[in-house]
Structure 1
Amino acid sequence: METFLENAFILFGIFTICKIFLQITKCLKYLILTKWVGVPNSFFQSLGEWAVITGGTDGIGKAYAHEFAKRGLNIVLISRTKEKLIKVANEIEQASGRKVKTIQVNFIKRDIYQHIKENLRGLEIGVLVNNVGMMQEPNPCRFLEMYDIDKTLDDIINVNVISVAKMTQLVLPKMKERQKGLILNISSGVANAPCPLYGLYSSTKIFMERFSRGCQAEYGSKGIIIQCLMPYAVASAMSQVKPGILAKSAKEFVRNSLDCTFLGDQSHGCLSHEIMAYVNGKIPHWIIYNDAFLDKIRDYLQNHARDYRNSQP
């Protein structure tokens, strides 16, 4: 019995040391790639002439559009608002001198993909960023408290799930032919565990993580990188937070995330969000999975969202 316990403690110690070593190694990789090495612009340029970004007129999508143009790629912006498309396209062309093509569609609808396909025909697409997304209203809330629940269910699934699979279906075949390409699927840190008050949203985001990692396993050997990015707080109109100690600006997060391109099929995009994911994973679920706590969090976040909207010009 004593020998068994001794061996068990030794195995537990070895497991713990290995786990700590892996965490330290991952942190060192983040530091090396984001602070000292990075990914050269020539790598992104070698993938193809064009980067396609869905939801490319606000927040993270807009930041990716500017960053890829800065790194030497032409840009295809796909979004629903014509005025924003024109404005962002002009900004990118003036700032970088790169070509910008716009496609106006609403990802709530499912009959848009033939139109997108026709507008992408003939373009050498090296990068696809599946960024478009939406959350339930009110934000946050319990599942049955969503406004117009039937429509919301369809809309969120169309935008957060169907768009990722359909856009990948459109772009991946040519990448496979050329044996190179990069697909970035923008998920969320709330997909790391069941997320009360954001249950539907977080569930669609875990689809992105599973879909990305599955496709990477299938097509990684073909020279294609398919990576799921799972950021926590990034300042944007959808997240309704401002830049701070933990919340990255969209520009800063995008720049850091591109330096993590070689970190594997799943990444939180920056070291601070990787640490947040680790800490979040250590919090016992019973602390947050109770009605009193959820009610307080819901009221706080809804008040915060209202104050944020009122503070905007």
Structure 2
Amino acid sequence: MSLLSKYYVDSWSGWHLETSPGPQSLVTLFLLITGGLLVASQIWTFLRVLLSLFVLPGKSLRSFGSKGSWALVTGASDGIGKEFALQLARAGFNLLLVSRTEEKLSALADEMSSKNPAVQTKRLAMDFARNDDEDHEKLKALVDELDIAVLVNNVGKSHNMPVPFVLTPEDELTDIVNINCLGTLRVTQLVAPGMVQRKRGLILTMGSFGGLVPTPLLATYSGSKAFLQYWSTALGSELEPYGIQVELVQAHLITSAMSKIRKPTATVPTPRTFVKSVLSKIGRHGGSPGYTFSSSPYWSHGLIAWVLTCVMGVMSKTFLSFNKDMHESIRKRALRKAEREKGKKAE
């Protein structure tokens, strides 16, 4: 008898001979070990998410530029863009403000000068939907004479209301692509060479959960944000050797004109609270540990992103259906509101 063999007692059938483990036992053991490792990996990932969101600080903004350096913020006149400008000014950066409306830019520049007299401001009114070469030449002339240490690609556009792709107005479709994609690419291409030359810089691009999870009835917007996800990852890999930090900021809902939400909640922060979390967590993945050069720094958004990235591989149809139902409901309410307003005007 083999030394590996032994006897054991089975209460039902008496004495039996047990030999060394067979193929079935080895497969079972392999599956148990693999399952244990996967569970341990998920627990470790979640602990990293908690540390990133609640404990570990981000890189100092001053590591990206010296005194007198500039920050360029697109879509700077309202909401998140305005808040980025104000908080970067408080951090000591001079500001190059770019947005569509000259009056709003002028008012923001005056507000910043009154709050931070030492901060210099320059501004350029341009409509990114036009994708106008002359506008970009004017911006290039400003960028070339400044030490741009921080670029915030904030300018963006969504649909006026949730809409099936086949019913999307052509001008709305074109505007979304021009603003979200081409505008971001062209501005970054103007700024990045100077950062490469100086071997330092920070490029923040506003992403969206619409790019993290495919969103029916916001198909063009969702696709544009997914494009920025892959573009940022590729760009981050290219620029990392030059000391440049590239980060796509994944955001859920925020109180803003775009979201049409005014009241903040635990999952819908104000622009001030959201931007503060972004600037304090530079270089931390937050709730997006599986996405290189991406971050979900606001605590509730980070937890939601972690859940989505962990389960969406096996539940993508569930999330797709949920998103579709939610935006169909929003579209119905928006259409009813439009009908009411139309009726009031007719009176």
* TM-score with structure 2 setting the length: 0.81
| C-alpha distance 306-70 of structure 1, shift in aligned 2 (>3 A) | farther
Q: CA deviation at 1:288?
A: 5.1
Name the structure 1 match of 2:295.
Answer: 267
Q: Distance in 2 between matches of 1:164 and 1:24?
A: 34
Per-residue deviation, 1:144: 1.7
Give the alignment partner of residue 143 of structure 1, picking from 140, 154, 165.
165
SS in 2 for 1:123: coil
How many residues align? The count is: 301
- 2:308 matches 1:285: no
* Superposition deviation, residue 246 in structure 1: 0.7
User: Distance between the aligned counterparts of 2:247 and 2:67, measured in 1?
Assistant: 15
Distance 1:260 1:249 in 2: 17
State the Cα distance separating 1:141 from its structure 2 match.
Answer: 1.5
Does residue 276 in structure 1 map to residue 307 in structure 2?
A: no
The match for 1:55 is 75
Residue in structure 1 matching 2:113, options 71, 93, 96: 93
- 1:219-298, aligned counterparts within 5 Å? 219-242=239-262, 243-263=264-284, 265-281=293-309, 282=311, 284-287=315-318, 289-290=320-321, 294=324, 297-298=327-328
State the partner residue of 2:150: 127
Q: CA-atom RMSD, angstroms?
A: 2.2
SS of the counterpart of 1:160?
A: helix
Alignment-derived partner of residue 329 in structure 2 = 299
Alignment of 1:178-197 (within 5 A): 178-197=198-217
Unaligned stretches of 5+ residues in structure 2:
1-23, 286-292, 342-347
SS of corresponding position for 1:46: coil
Counterpart of 2:54 in structure 1 is: 31
Moved over 4 A (4+): 304-307
Give CA-to-partner distance per residue, 1:165-190, whole Å, 9 cap, x none. 11111000010010000000101112
Alignment of 1:68-83 (within 5 A): 68-83=88-103
Tell me the CA shift for residue 7 of structure 1: 1.0
Q: CA deviation at 1:41?
A: 5.0
CA offset at residue 75 of structure 1? 0.5
2:33 pairs with 1:5:
no
Alpha-carbon distance between aligned partners in 2 of 1:222 and 1:302, rounded to the nearest angstrom: 49
When residues 78 and 293 of structure 1 are mapped into structure 2, their CA distance, relative to the original with a 3 A threshold, is closer
Residue 300 of structure 1: CA displacement?
Answer: 3.4
User: Counterpart in 1 of 2:180?
Assistant: 160
The one-letter code of the counterpart of 1:298 is: E
Aligned-pair CA distance for 1:278 = 2.5
Q: CA deviation at 1:293?
A: 8.0
Change (3 A) 1:287 1:11: closer
Q: Which residue identity lines up with residue 132 of structure 1 in the other structure?
A: V
Q: Is the 8 A contact 1:67 1:255 kept in 2?
A: yes
1:170 aligned residue: 190
Q: Which runs of 5+ in 1 are unaligned?
A: none
TM-score (normalizing by structure 1): 0.89
Cα offsets for 1:56-115 (capped at 9, x unmatched): 011110110001000000001101111111111111111122111110100011222112
Q: What CA deviation, in whole Å up to 9, does each residue of 1:214-253 have, x standing for no partner?
A: 1111111110001000110111101111311210110111
Aligned amino acid, residue 19 of structure 1: Q
- The answer on whether the counterparts of 2:130 and 2:178 sit within 8 Å (CA) in structure 1 is yes
- Between the aligned partners of 2:274 and 2:165, the Cα distance in structure 1 is 30
